[in-house]
A and B are shown apart, each in its own frame.
Chain A
Amino acid sequence: MTTPRPADTPAVPAAARPTEWPLWEVFVRSRRGLSHTHAGSLHAPDAAMALRNARDLYTRRSEGVSIWVVPSTQVTASSPDEKDAFFEPAGDKPYRHPTFYEIPDGVQHL
């Protein structure tokens, strides 16, 4: 159902690259009132450096007011192969959308 490997992480085992700093996913809140969105990824030895690198890499033009960094290995992603089956429960429920319902013309505030 789910795999403990994030959507955008390479399949190279960590042991194959022992000197490389770990990979972090970067999420940026562009301004107050908006949620953090994925900006990209970067390498850093630890969380503090990941934050500093993320600031230099993804907010050089004031693109953010807040940054999250998450070790890429900590992201659990749904598998694209199971796309249809996994999301199928929502597929046959159009009655979850307001447009499903017929309301006579002239009825207001509904």
Chain B
Amino acid sequence: MTTIAPEEPALEAVFDATVAADERIEPRDWMPDAYRSTLVRQIAQHAHSEIIGMQPEANWITRAPSLRRKAILMAKVQDEAGHGLYLYSAAETLGTSRDELLDKLHTGRQKYSSIFNYPTLTWADVGAIGWLVDGAAITNQVPLCRCSYGPYARAMVRICKEESFHQRQGYELLMALSRGTEAQHAMAQDAVNRWWWPSLMMFGPPDDESAHSAQSMAWKIKRHSNDELRQRFVDICVPQAEALGLTLPDPDLTWNEERGHFDFGPIDWAEFWDVLKGNGPCNEQRISRRRRAHEDGAWVREAAAAHAAKHGKADR
């Protein structure tokens, strides 16, 4: 997509200076090919995660315990669809198309966050997802609001504004269960036990094994390392769990006075890589359901296009 012009070194100098000055790169600016492809990969993966992420929670919409909870959950899942659309639009400004992105998701050539390959076994999982999964996402996403690529940064600003309700509704839901009957409390604890470690994995592999991190930091696509953000998340969660009256499933979790942070136990990275490779509990189900939804919607897209063509409203 990038035009290779004779004056490329000069263009690259302008690009570097813009990034160094903490200004934003905009769609029609010259940018290095690798910057463009890194952004497409990251934004696409992010968009796919929002869309696939609708499935585990949608699983509980029909079984929400009250009308209030059902309305909240529907609004949250609808927000996630919106997040996916903001992000697909941002990716499209880099010269890719919506169809191409969806095709790559459906054929497994682009990934989505591994966290959504875990099942939602009980109603408490909806709470644990809101608190921990959306919480981890927010920790990751807040720095992305200052990402060097303008359209991505702007999408993240919108998304972060909306995420805060997601996290709070989850926390409130868990609070209600934790303060409920013994069985409800146990259900909340079980959900937290299952979602805690996968949530920590959401920050990606440790810094010394993270393939793209250094370059992304230099380009100011990324502002903090995976381990830094993971530590920030752990430090935030410990007192929140305490207030919930729930424990986090890590016997090594202790305050380290010297570091000023909580120490935590080793993460099972073998599990992370295994789920990423496609061997998680729900990989197959998530992607086949996504493909089916797309195919089932084909006639709607075609009918709308035919209607537009007939009435000439699309103007092209």
Q: Which A residues fall within an 8 A CB radius of B?
A: 5, 7-12, 14, 16-17, 19-23, 40-43, 45-49, 56-57, 60-61, 71, 73-74, 77, 79-81
A46 contacts B29, CB within 8 Å?
no
Residues 297-313 of chain B, each 1 if its beta carbon lies under 8 Å from chain A, else 0: 00001101101100101
Given contacts A19-B99, A43-B98, A46-B308, contact A10 B93 (CB under 8 A): yes
Q: How far is the CA of A9 from the CA of B89 in the complex (A)?
A: 9
Q: What is the count of residue pairs linking A and B with beta-carbon distances less than 8 angstroms? A: 90
Which chain B positions have C-beta within 8 A of A79?
28
Task: From B85, B100, B154, name the one whose CB has the most chain A CB atoms within 10 angstroms.
Answer: B85
The 5 closest A-B pairs by CB, nearest first: A46-B313, A46-B308, A45-B308, A45-B304, A8-B93
Which chain A positions have C-beta within 8 A of B304?
21, 45-46, 49
Given contacts A7-B28, A47-B314, A73-B316, contact A20 B85 (CB under 8 A): no
Given contacts A19-B301, A57-B82, A71-B316, contact A12 B96 (CB under 8 A): yes
Contact among A12, A17, A45 for B314, CB-based, below 8 A: A45
Which chain B positions have C-beta within 8 A of A5?
28
Q: List 17 A-B contacts (CB under 8 A).
A: A8-B151, A9-B27, A10-B95, A12-B97, A17-B99, A21-B308, A42-B89, A45-B307, A46-B307, A46-B314, A47-B314, A56-B82, A57-B86, A60-B78, A73-B316, A74-B315, A81-B30
Q: How far is the CA of A7 from the CA of B93 in the complex (A)?
A: 9
Residues 143-175 of chain B, each 1 if its beta carbon lies under 8 Å from chain A, else 0: 000000001001100100010000000000000
Which chain A positions have C-beta within 8 A of B305?
19, 21, 45
Which chain A positions have C-beta within 8 A of B99?
17, 19-20
Which chain B positions have C-beta within 8 A of A23?
92
Interface of chain B, main secondary structure: helix
Given contacts A45-B305, A49-B304, A77-B28, contact A17 B89 (CB under 8 A): no
Considering the complex, give the chain A residue whose CB is closest to the CB of B25.
A80
Q: How far is the CA of A42 from the CA of B162 in the complex (A)?
A: 19
Which chain B positions have C-beta within 8 A of A8?
26-27, 93, 151
Considering the complex, give the chain A residue whose CB is closest to the CB of B305.
A45
Q: How far is the CA of A41 from the CA of B158 in the complex (A)?
A: 13
Contact among B96, B98, B313 for A47, CB-based, below 8 A: B313
Which chain B positions have C-beta within 8 A of A17?
97-100
Q: Is B94 an interface residue (CB 8 A)?
A: yes
Which chain B positions have C-beta within 8 A of A71?
314-316
Given contacts A16-B97, A45-B308, contact A80 B301 (CB under 8 A): no
